[in-house]
Amino acid sequence: MPQLLEPIDAIARKLNRDVLYLEFLMAQRPHRVDYRSLDSRLQIVRWFGSEGIEWRECGQVASETVIRSYTGEIFINVPFSEADDGYRKVQAFLEFPDGSMRYEDVRFYVVSLELAMKNAHHDEPGFWGRWADNF
């Protein structure tokens, strides 16, 4: 069943804040691997569940020039703030104390509201339909 995923930048605009986001590096694999069977992703999702960390699948930052398939990207619904217990917990799980990633095939990003606002025109009613008509 097809699924429409909300791009991470649209999530940031909707929440009116910076948002946390995970990408999984599928291109580093010697053979095609389905994101649903990636060990790193399975471990992370399992940990989110055990810790009560709210998350959901999302799309990458929306682009008017590139169409990408979904490769397991995740929005993590905790505020990007050193003062937030949830953020500190997620950061400590995903990163070593020096800031390097515990999982070599995972990238942990902050999508700033400032960056997300550059695509605010995508939220206009009918934008993507008009874009598709001119593709």
Helix H or strand E segment including 10: helix 8-15
This prediction's pTM: 0.90
The pLDDT tens digits of the residues spanning 30-67 come to 566 788 889 999 999 999 999 999 999 999 999 999 88
The pLDDT tens digits of the residues spanning 79-135 come to 999 999 999 999 999 999 999 999 999 999 999 999 999 999 999 999 988 888 887
Where do the domains of the chain lie? 8-133
Q: What are phi and psi of 107, to 5 degrees?
A: -120, 135
